[in-house]
Amino acid sequence: MSEFVQGFTAPHMASPASLPARPKRNYTAYLSMLADAFAIAQRCQAELNSKGQIDPITLDSIRDEVGKWA
């Protein structure tokens, strides 16, 4: 496994159990988070298709974005 992706699970590879549960209220924030996860997955796939690996800078930005979800 590439050193750049070791320990990282792309959103499209996450199991359903690892996705946040749908909230009872704030559906807008939940849908926004899912849209962000989809955009991250697309960005990762585009880099894999073009470069064959995901750039460490991209991984850092993804970690920052996902960190804001909590």
Instruction: Give me the DSSP letters along 43-56.
Output: HHHHHHHHHSS--H
Q: Rounded to an integer, what distance in angstroms lies between the CA atom of residue 34 and that of residue 11? A: 9
Per-10-residue mean pLDDT, the chain, length 70: 47 56 75 89 93 91 86
Check: pTM over 0.95? Answer yes or no.
no
**Residue (of 40, 44, 35) closest to 65 by Cα position:** 40
Q: How many CB atoms lie within 10 A of CB 47?
A: 15
| Amino acid at the residue 1 | M
Residue 36 in contact with residue 61, Cβ under 8 Å? no
